[in-house]
Amino acid sequence: MTLFEKIIAREIPAQIIAEGNDWLAFHDISPQAPVHVLVIPKKAIPRLGEAAPEDVQLLGTLLLAVQEVARKLGLAETGFRVVINHGRDGGETVPHLHIHILGGRPLSWPPG
CATH number of residue 39's parent domain: 3.30.428.10
Is 109 contained in some domain? no
In the chain, the number of structural domains is: 1
Taking only the tens place, the pLDDT of each residue in 51-83 is 999 999 999 999 999 999 999 999 999 999 999
DSSP states along 38-52: EEEESS----GGG--
Domain ranges, residue 73: 3-103
98 is catalytic: yes
**Among 36, 96, 98, 100, which one carries the catalytic annotation?**
98
Amino acid (one-letter) located at 17: I
Q: What is the pTM of this model?
A: 0.94
Is 112 contained in some domain? no
Q: Phi and psi dihedrals of 107, rounded to 5? A: -110, 135
Cis status of the peptide bond prior to 13, with omega within 30 of 0: no
The pLDDT profile of the chain, 112 residues, written as one tens digit per residue, is 999 999 999 999 999 999 999 999 999 999 999 999 999 999 999 999 999 999 999 999 999 999 999 999 999 999 999 999 998 989 899 999 999 999 999 999 987 6
